[in-house]
Structure 1
Amino acid sequence: MTERRARRTMWLALTAVPAMMLVACSGGGAGDASGEAGSDETRTLTLAHSYNEDQPQHRCGAQVIADEIEAADVGLTIEIFPSSQLGGDADRIASVASGDIDIDIQGASALGAVYEPISVLDAAYAFDGPEHLAAFMGGDASAPVIEGFAETAGVQTLGAWSAGARHFTANTAIRTPEDLEGLRMRFPGSPQFLMNARALGAEATEVAYEELYLALQQGTVDGQENPITNIAAQNLAEVQDFLSLSAHQLNTNLVIMSPVWSELSAEQQDALTAAVETAVGEVTTCVAEDEEATIDEWREAGQWEIVDDVDTAAFQEMAVAYLEDTLTGESLEVFEAIRSSAP
């Protein structure tokens, strides 16, 4: 118990999370599992994330992992806690490190708080699309960043998927970097997202996601960027006129696992790896289908002026040049490895 508390303290310091806000989960962590790996008893693993149950990350990701593990019959079962039930992102990262949460789905930018190079997976135009992300994560080029994260955090990465590309909305069309001039664009407050804003030529304004609709309605900001699923969930068509399909960043999710990984049998580890691999494919398909259906619905309803002739090549050239000049050390190495692996 002392070692686990020490690990938790280290992570809380790294993520700058106040101790009073840390959410500890009992009943599913490494120290509370029923039965040891290899025994006849079933061990229950907790899987936490921040998404709603109707989002692809849950129904095509977390739920698929749980279903695949159930079907594998290797003495494991997975209990899912969606919608940040076990705490916000930073809280859950600390809980995974200490073993209080077994598996978590996290954005790369959030994980950058404890290992900065991994946030580069969320860099603007780092990836050409979800297939590029899958190829990078499945190849040798990703080994340094994944191993570096494991060494720093003591956390195993089981896989990664794209939760959808991010696009611009505003009350004017955004086709080129010049169209962003003079616009106050809302970006999340993480270092990588703010760097992306500069790389794209945007004037970033930080606004909490929960306050985004009101900020757009009142004119505190002129526009914003998000994946299609978030744009739909926030009903931003009510307060914005143009949706510009810039696809300037993939929302990269990583499936991470606590040190309990080392306590599992080889058969259980193989089953978990296979389950996550299946989920990666399912999420990719679900996101693409959901986005296509939503955009078709918007076109038919005339809710937006949908700008599908964005000069993505101009945006990408500008962003890549900026990031290559700005990133340093291991972060630059990760970015260069990603770009070198582009098909």
Structure 2
Amino acid sequence: MITRRTKRLTWLALAAVPALLLAGCSSEGTDEGGGGGDTIKLTLAHSYTEDQPQHRCGAQVIADEVKAADVGLEIEIFSSSQLGGDADRIASVASGDIDIDIQGASALGAVYEPISVLDAAYAFDGPEHLATFMASEEGQGVVDDFAEAAGIHTLGVWSAGARQFTANSPIRTPDDLEGLRIRFPGSPQFLVNAKALGASATEVAYEELYLALQQGTVDGQENPITNIKSQNLAEVQDYLSMTNHQLNTNLVIMSSKWEELNSEQQDALSSAVEKAVTEVTSCVAEDEKSTLEQWKADGAWEIVDDVDIDAFRDKALPYLEEHLTGDSLAVFEAIRATSDQK
């Protein structure tokens, strides 16, 4: 059973550093709304470049909407891992050195393992399914338990697109992964996903991925379209196989600073994140469509559209049902129970 918590967090889903460096980034005030008192300055950190949807349509929208609300809040954005890598930033949010961060579910599994199941292979059928689950009692239970375990508030979630394989040969079925060294992120859920899909996983840091592919350290990798584009992987890979094997989820998380905001400020921040969730979901879809069209037009990739997704799904889901345990299995089963493809 997934445990329940009486405290209800703001949950929004839509179909979508070193302490010294941070010391000067944030200041507290006593403002009870826009107009009088000091402005509370909040730091918002993430690992994405400024041309990716998570920044353009996510972080920047949050900052702009909060400013427009005029409730005594100001958000300063630090993109491209300026305030540290994922693990460092999670610790900084927990300690209060970073106020708001955008993180993948798998990375957050380091502090509360069951939340990483949001990144399980074929757990979600698409962004609409993510929305359905997170609107459910079970979905709320996941973030409530995460808040209790980590002391971290969840403001919202969005889908950053589905993950796809790239390699120098087409990948249409699980059998096509045989003999290939595929780069996966090093988090436990991603490594479980690799086994579930039938892939031989090799851990390579994201920052080293291009070079690893160029030098042949790995034969392929998997990422959402936005990351594949930002890393210019078409320069070192030939085939993009549209496996859609994992919905890439981002959570917008906040430190205990949330409790220091008054109700007007909390409402303004929640509304800002709600708009960002909408914007990111749309931006990701639009960016993926235009990117794929451009790639097809200029021949940057051999795009493999005839992937046997049923074969991948039929391999992955039973594996996960067998190998996930405890609360992680309960989360996975609850997700699949809300699927239209049971």
TM-score when normalising by structure 2 = 0.90
| 1:10-89 correspondence runs (5 A) | 22-24=18-20, 25-29=22-26, 32-38=27-33, 40-89=37-86
> Bigger CA drift: 66-75 or 144-153?
66-75
Q: Deviations over 1:293-317 (max 9, x none)?
A: 1111110011211111111111112
**2:268 alignment partner in structure 1:** 271
> Bigger CA drift: 311-320 or 132-141?
132-141
Which of 91, 94, 99 is equivalent to 2:91?
94
Q: Deviations over 1:232-271 (max 9, x none)?
A: 1222222211110011011111000111111111121111
| 1:331-342 correspondence runs (5 A) | 331-342=328-339
Letter in 1 for 2:83: L
SS at match of 2:145: helix
Contact 2:28–2:38, Cα closer than 8 Å, also in 1: no
**1:18 alignment partner in structure 2:** none
Alignment gaps of 5+ in structure 1: 1-20
Contact 1:137–1:159, Cα closer than 8 Å, also in 2: no
**2:288 alignment partner in structure 1:** 291
CA distance in 1, matches of 2:90, 2:44: 12
Contact 2:48–2:54, Cα closer than 8 Å, also in 1: yes
Contact 2:29–2:37, Cα closer than 8 Å, also in 1: no
Q: 2:120 matched to 1:123?
A: yes
Which of 138, 143, 148 is equivalent to 2:145?
148
Q: Post-superposition shift, 1:106?
A: 0.7
**1:139 alignment partner in structure 2:** 136
**1:326 alignment partner in structure 2:** 323
Q: Deviations over 1:135-159 (max 9, x none)?
A: 2223322122101110011110001
Letter in 1 for 2:23: S
**1:171 alignment partner in structure 2:** 168
CA distance in 2, matches of 1:170, 1:228: 14
> Bigger CA drift: 292-301 or 267-276?
267-276
CA distance in 1, matches of 2:185, 2:255: 27
| 1:215-234 correspondence runs (5 A) | 215-234=212-231
Contact 2:239–2:302, Cα closer than 8 Å, also in 1: yes
Alignment gaps of 5+ in structure 2: 1-16
Letter in 2 for 1:135: T
Alignment CA distance shift 1:28-1:139 (3 Å): farther
CA distance in 2, matches of 1:114, 1:183: 31
Alignment CA distance shift 1:27-1:33 (3 Å): farther
**1:311 alignment partner in structure 2:** 308
CA RMSD after TM alignment: 1.5
Q: 2:177 matched to 1:186?
A: no
Contact 2:44–2:59, Cα closer than 8 Å, also in 1: yes
SS at match of 2:80: coil
Contact 1:199–1:320, Cα closer than 8 Å, also in 2: yes
Q: Deviations over 1:195-218 (max 9, x none)?
A: 000000001111222222222222
CA distance in 2, matches of 1:117, 1:228: 26
SS at match of 2:121: coil
**2:101 alignment partner in structure 1:** 104
CA distance in 1, matches of 2:101, 2:272: 14
Contact 1:28–1:100, Cα closer than 8 Å, also in 2: no
**1:3 alignment partner in structure 2:** none
Contact 1:23–1:87, Cα closer than 8 Å, also in 2: no
Contact 2:114–2:331, Cα closer than 8 Å, also in 1: yes
Contact 1:27–1:33, Cα closer than 8 Å, also in 2: no
CA distance in 1, matches of 2:235, 2:38: 53
Contact 1:184–1:205, Cα closer than 8 Å, also in 2: yes
Contact 2:184–2:191, Cα closer than 8 Å, also in 1: yes
Contact 2:166–2:237, Cα closer than 8 Å, also in 1: yes
**1:246 alignment partner in structure 2:** 243
| 1:253-268 correspondence runs (5 A) | 253-268=250-265
Contact 1:194–1:204, Cα closer than 8 Å, also in 2: yes
